[in-house]
Structure 1
Amino acid sequence: MTAAPPLTQPAVPAPARSRPWLVADIGGTNARFGLVDAPGARPRDVCRLLCADHPDLASAARTYLERTGGARPGAACVAVAGPVEGDRIRLTNARWDCSAEDTRRELGLAHIEVVNDFAALALALPRLDGGDLLALGGPPPAARRPMAVLGPGTGLGVAGLLPAPGGGWVPVSGEGGHVGLSPATDLEIEVLRTLRAGQGTVTAECVLSGPGMTRLHGALARVHGGAAAAPLPAERICDTADEDPLCALTLEVFCALLGGFAGDCALTLGATGGVFVGGGIAPRIAEVLQRSDFRIRFESKYRMTDYVKDIATVLITAPTPALLGTAARLDQCLETTP
């Protein structure tokens, strides 16, 4: 897992109602917070704040704690949408740039952990139950095997989860959303050509994200010979697909490309335990995903088709799964603290 090196700070104190753990998932748009009262417990009092309304993590956390009764957490784990490097908390798609150690001191914490948001989402996978998941094709997930998780939101995140010898799990995070896009149909090739003409390099995140869905919608309008469509937010595209043919086509192409990308992640990470799809967009289009070419494209891997056919694809429907992962990370710290 890509994580900050240990800070000079006390060990992780066990959580209690009077001194809970603070867990947070900081994306490019939203900051979600919760409190954990015991090891293994699910977060309570989950609340969402807009990142743009706050200058940094400490400010957003203080606002959350004031809204939820002024709890004084003893430790925190923060998942951030971007690479984790040393003491700095930087977001790829937002303006926050602050120090983990300064945040710990400002909030009066004994300990703070900072992890990549998709490493946290990966750590959540063993804690998800049937009510948190929706099958997208293939067999059921296989126990105690490597898993992958990916998700389009403000950006496109990717991580793996490996079973550790003797029990437990090890997350593997990176920046897989920034690999090249792999079109497979004539239409997708035309879309890629159109996008390249406007911006040069086209990565997977350039299309498989919220802003990417807007780009895809505009590119499809140009490919079909119409005037350049006014930029349409992803939420609007998702909500009007039933009545707008161009929005419907946008979702169809989006789901197919996402399936191909998910298959690439399965092959790259050897994720025979299953590939899980999270993020902010996929749950909004769950029914579209189920009837789309997502699974067909997931399995279309030439000589590796038989390999990926045996891998589950699953949609995460839990509302705040990364908070489960940040809680799991603090559990790990508590278990390994001398």
Structure 2
Amino acid sequence: MTDTVWPALVADIGGTNARFALVAEPGAAPTAVHSLPAADYPNLPDAVAAYLERVGVRPHAACVAVAGPTVGDRIVLSNRNWDFSVRAVAERFGFAPLLLINDCEALALALPRLGPAEVMRLGDGDSFGEPGRPLALIAPGTGLGMSGALPTAHGWIALSAEGGHADLAPVEDLEIEALRRVRGERGRVSLESVLCGSGLERLHRAIAAVQGLPTDALPAAEITRRAASGGEGSLDRLCARTLTTYCALLGGAAGNLALSLGARGGVYVGGGIAPRFAAFLAASPFRARFEAKGRMADYLRPVPSWLILVENPALSGAAAHLDTVHRTHHAGA
């Protein structure tokens, strides 16, 4: 790693959007943030080139957060038909280094930096959680990501995980019957198959089938809009029932994650979906299902849960990762 890292490029590459920013120096906030539609570009290098042409800056290094595993030189995104060589991208743009990190890892590294104005409380729990204890992240978007941030003597580290592909656990009869239909359609019901954007649409169709209601397929944005509107039409009520069920299942998954990681510092809901219906989520069964873990309810009751409201937090996490790697390298040099 060279001494001249800054200015650096940071990026958060999801299934729908490719977000880029510049970091001027260690500890600085990302600036010149732009979000590009991923579908407009054949692959990552094309999107990087478009951004750099727009800002007119030549970064010396980069940290790119991607939706998918970051093992080896060849990177394949989970929810976007992009694959690329890390080495080839670094050589093309002169990045020394080019660091790759999972997008949920980057978002997890941003959690300790979030301020009170950047989150919304979901239910009860201690105001700030236990200091110095793990933080958990569940992030529904185009897919469903999970991660955690763990405190160490050298700062926070993030977990690289693919928890969205674990099995989904229904609780209520409606959930069981709806997910039976999802299983018939897909063969298996993972967390991501229901708790992402297309999963909300899938859940809507399944609940309609359980209740014997005819319905046209609706996009996720329309389901959430109708659910939040409080309308009394049959379609509005179906959307409200769907979103209520979605929030309950999300709360159950978040509680399971808190138990698995021992996340006494708090659990955060990120991603691009939940902020669209923040008030609905806060009033939903999310928190009740979060705590409904039998004899472990007392363990979870003090654990706070938060909805992340700030835009592009993963860019801050990518910057933190680049800064940590740079400091660690020079400390050991």
TM-score bin, normalised by smaller chain? over 0.9
SS, match of residue 206 in structure 1? helix
Q: Which residue matches 2:287?
A: 295
Distance in 2 (alpha carbons) for counterparts of 1:315 and 1:113: 28
Moved over 3 A (4+): none
The answer to whether the 8 Å contact 1:190/1:223 transfers is yes
Q: Deviations over 1:59-78 (max 9, x none)?
A: 1011011112x100010000
The offset of 1:245, in angstroms, is: 1.3
Q: Which residue matches 1:284?
A: 276
Q: Deviations over 1:303-325 (max 9, x none)?
A: 11110111110111110000000
Q: Which residue matches 1:308?
A: 300
Q: Deviations over 1:261-309 (max 9, x none)?
A: 0000001111111001000001111101110000000000011111011
Q: Which residue matches 1:13?
A: 4
Alignment of 1:75-86 (within 5 A): 75-86=61-72
Distance in 2 (alpha carbons) for counterparts of 1:146 and 1:11: 32
Q: Deviations over 1:172-213 (max 9, x none)?
A: 121001111111101111111111122211111110000100
Aligned-pair Cα RMSD in Å: 1.1
The offset of 1:105, in angstroms, is: 1.1
Q: Which residue matches 1:334?
A: 326
Q: Which residue matches 1:172?
A: 159
Distance in 2 (alpha carbons) for counterparts of 1:254 and 1:115: 29
Write the letter of the residue equivalent to 2:37.
Answer: L
Alignment of 1:1-338 (within 5 A): 10-11=1-2, 13-15=4-6, 20-68=7-55, 70-137=56-123, 138-141=125-128, 142-164=130-152, 166-227=153-214, 229-241=215-227, 242=229, 243=231, 244-337=236-329, 338=333
SS, match of residue 35 in structure 1? strand
SS, match of residue 212 in structure 1? helix
Distance in 1 (alpha carbons) for counterparts of 2:154 and 2:116: 22
Write the letter of the residue equivalent to 2:278.
Answer: A
SS, match of residue 136 in structure 2? strand
The offset of 1:12, in angstroms, is: 5.8
Higher mean displacement: 21-30 or 141-150: 141-150
Identity %: 52
Write the letter of the residue equivalent to 2:324.
Answer: Q
Structure 1 residues 14 and 198: CA distance shift in structure 2, 3 A: closer
Write the letter of the residue equivalent to 2:116.
Answer: G
Q: TM-score, normalised by structure 2?
A: 0.94
SS, match of residue 70 in structure 2? coil
The answer to whether the 8 Å contact 2:5/2:96 transfers is no
Give structure 1 stretches of 5+ with no counterpart: 1-9
Distance in 2 (alpha carbons) for counterparts of 1:307 and 1:11: 46
The answer to whether the 8 Å contact 1:23/1:327 transfers is yes
The answer to whether the 8 Å contact 1:93/1:154 transfers is yes
Write the letter of the residue equivalent to 2:73.
Answer: D
Distance in 2 (alpha carbons) for counterparts of 1:248 and 1:67: 42
The offset of 1:240, in angstroms, is: 2.0
Distance in 1 (alpha carbons) for counterparts of 2:205 and 2:304: 32
SS, match of residue 149 in structure 1? strand
Write the letter of the residue equivalent to 2:131.
Answer: A
The answer to whether the 8 Å contact 1:123/1:328 transfers is yes
Q: Deviations over 1:126-184 (max 9, x none)?
A: 111111111112112332111111110000000011110x2401111210011111111
SS, match of residue 42 in structure 1? coil
The offset of 1:230, in angstroms, is: 2.7
Write the letter of the residue equivalent to 1:190.
Answer: E
Greater helix share, 1 or 2? 2
SS, match of residue 122 in structure 1? helix
Distance in 2 (alpha carbons) for counterparts of 1:326 and 1:214: 31
Distance in 1 (alpha carbons) for counterparts of 2:205 and 2:213: 10
Q: TM-score, normalised by structure 1?
A: 0.93
The answer to whether the 8 Å contact 1:80/1:90 transfers is no
Write the letter of the residue equivalent to 1:278.
Answer: G
